[in-house]
Structure 1
Amino acid sequence: MLNLAVMLEDSARAVPDRGAVVSGDRTLTYAQLDASANQVANLLASRGIGPGDKVALSCPNVAQFPIVYYGILKAGAVVVPLNVLLKRREIAYHLADSDASAYFCFEGSAELPLGQEGWAGFNEVEGCRDFFLITAAAAPDPAAPAPIAGAETLARALDGQSTEFTARVTEAGDTAVILYTSGTTGQPKGAELTHANMALNALTCHRTFGTAEHDVHLITLPLFHSFGQTVQMNAGLAARATLVLMPRFDAHGALSLMGRHQVTFFAGVPTMYWALLDAEISEADATAAAQNLRIAGSGGAALPVEIHRRFRRRFGTSIREGYGLSETSPLATFTPTGAEARPGSIGKPVWGVEVDLIADDWTPVAAGEVGEVVVRGHNVMRGYYGRPEATAEVMRDGWFRTGDLASRDEDGWLYIVDRAKDMIIRGGFNVYPRELEEVLHSHPAVSMAAVVGVPHDKHGEEIKAYVVPAPGVRITEDDLVAWCRETMAGYKYPRLVEFRDTLPMNATGKILKRELRTETATSGH
Structure 2
Amino acid sequence: MFNLAMAVSHTAQTRPHRLAVVSAEESWTFAELEDHIRRAAGGLRNAGLMPGDTVALSLPTSPEFVVSYYAVLRAGLTVAPMAPYSSAREVRHALGTCGARALVTLDGSRPEGSDDLTVLSLSGLVEHSADDGAESLTARSPEDVAAVIFTSGTTGAAKAAQLTHWNLWMSCTALLSRSQPTADDVVLASLPLHHVFGMSGLMNAAMTWGMTLVLQSRFEAAEALDLIEEHRVTRFSGVPTMFLDMIRQGVGERDLSSLRHVTSGGSALPPGVLEDFENLIPSATLLEGYGSSETTSSVCVNSSRARRRPGSVGTPSWGTQMRVVSDDGTPLPPGPEHVGELQICGPTVFAGYAGDPDATSAAFDGDWLRTGDLAWITPDGYVHLVDRRSNMIIRGGRNVYPAEVEHVLTSHPDVAEAVVLGQPHERLGQEIAALVVPRRPTAELSTPDRTQLLETLDQHARQELAPYKRPRQTHLIDSLPRTAAGKIIRPAARSLLAERTVDPA
Which TM class, normalised by the smaller chain length? over 0.9
**What is the one-letter code of the residue matched to 1:359?**
S
Cα offset, 1:281, TM superposition: 4.5
Q: Does 1:228 align with 2:195?
A: no
Cα offset, 1:167, TM superposition: 0.8
Distance in 1, matches of 2:19 and 2:234, equals: 15
**What is the one-letter code of the residue matched to 1:292?**
S
Distance in 1, matches of 2:304 and 2:474, equals: 40
Contact 1:335 1:348 in 2 (8 A): yes
Aligned residues: 489
Alignment of 1:321-400 (within 5 A): 321-337=288-304, 339-368=306-335, 369-400=338-369
**What is the one-letter code of the residue matched to 1:342?**
R
Cα deviation 1:146-187 (Å, max 9, x = unaligned):
xxxxxxxx3234225314231111011110001111223432
For structure 2, list consecutive stretches of 5 or more residues without a partner in the other structure. Answer: none
Distance in 2, matches of 1:222 and 1:335, equals: 23
Cα deviation 1:75-127 (Å, max 9, x = unaligned):
000000112231112101211221111101246xxxxxxx86x532222xx4x
Distance in 1, matches of 2:415 and 2:303, equals: 31
Q: Does 1:164 align with 2:96?
A: no
**What is the one-letter code of the residue matched to 2:26?**
R
Aligned residue for 2:112, secondary structure, equals helix
Alignment of 1:69-218 (within 5 A): 69-106=69-106, 118-123=110-115, 126=116, 128=117, 130-133=118-121, 154-161=122-129, 162-218=132-188
Aligned residue for 1:323, secondary structure, equals strand
Aligned residue for 2:175, secondary structure, equals helix
Aligned residue for 2:193, secondary structure, equals coil
For structure 1, list consecutive stretches of 5 or more residues without a partner in the other structure. Answer: 108-114, 134-153
Alignment of 1:39-50 (within 5 A): 39-50=39-50
Given candidates 460, 466, 490, the residue that maps to 1:489 is 466
Give the structure 1 partner of residue 30 of structure 2: 30
Give the structure 1 partner of residue 483 of structure 2: 506
Contact 1:481 1:496 in 2 (8 A): no
Contact 1:308 1:343 in 2 (8 A): no
Deviates more, 1:154-163 or 1:450-459: 154-163
Cα offset, 1:208, TM superposition: 2.3
Cα offset, 1:336, TM superposition: 2.7
Distance in 1, matches of 2:233 and 2:184, equals: 10
Aligned residue for 1:336, secondary structure, equals coil
Q: Does 1:21 align with 2:13?
A: no
Cα offset, 1:338, TM superposition: 7.0
Aligned residue for 1:486, secondary structure, equals helix
Q: Does 1:450 align with 2:416?
A: no
**What is the one-letter code of the residue matched to 1:104?**
V
**What is the one-letter code of the residue matched to 2:174?**
T
Distance in 1, matches of 2:482 and 2:86, equals: 14
Contact 2:475 2:500 in 1 (8 A): no
Cα deviation 1:224-245 (Å, max 9, x = unaligned):
1111111111111111110000
**What is the one-letter code of the residue matched to 1:265?**
R
**What is the one-letter code of the residue matched to 1:120?**
E
Contact 2:8 2:208 in 1 (8 A): yes
Distance in 2, matches of 1:308 and 1:280, equals: 15
Distance in 2, matches of 1:132 and 1:296, equals: 36
Q: Does 1:422 align with 2:414?
A: no
Instruction: Please report the TM-score for the alignment, with normalisation by the length of structure 2.
Output: 0.93
**What is the one-letter code of the residue matched to 1:218?**
L
Give the structure 2 partner of residue 253 of structure 1: 223
Contact 1:178 1:191 in 2 (8 A): yes
Cα offset, 1:523, TM superposition: 6.6
Instruction: Please report the TM-score for the alignment, with normalisation by the length of structure 1.
Output: 0.90
Cα deviation 1:397-437 (Å, max 9, x = unaligned):
22100011111123321111111111111111111111112
Distance in 2, matches of 1:251 and 1:398, equals: 41
Given candidates 275, 279, 283, the residue that maps to 1:309 is 275
Deviates more, 1:443-452 or 1:259-268: 443-452
Contact 2:104 2:120 in 1 (8 A): yes
Q: Does 1:436 align with 2:413?
A: no
Given candidates 189, 212, 216, the residue that maps to 1:219 is 189
Q: Does 1:464 align with 2:441?
A: no
Contact 1:171 1:195 in 2 (8 A): yes
Aligned residue for 2:3, secondary structure, equals coil
Distance in 2, matches of 1:60 and 1:204, equals: 28
Distance in 2, matches of 1:370 and 1:347, equals: 17
Aligned residue for 1:171, secondary structure, equals coil
Give the structure 2 partner of residue 62 of structure 1: 62
Cα offset, 1:331, TM superposition: 2.1
**What is the one-letter code of the residue matched to 1:131?**
V
**Residue 36 to residue 314, structure 1, CA distance change in 2 (3 Å):** same
Give the structure 1 partner of residue 265 of structure 2: 299
Cα deviation 1:10-44 (Å, max 9, x = unaligned):
11111111100001141110011111111111111
Aligned residue for 2:493, secondary structure, equals helix
Aligned residue for 1:72, secondary structure, equals helix
Cα offset, 1:367, TM superposition: 2.5
Give the structure 1 partner of residue 376 of structure 2: 407
Give the structure 2 partner of residue 273 of structure 1: 243
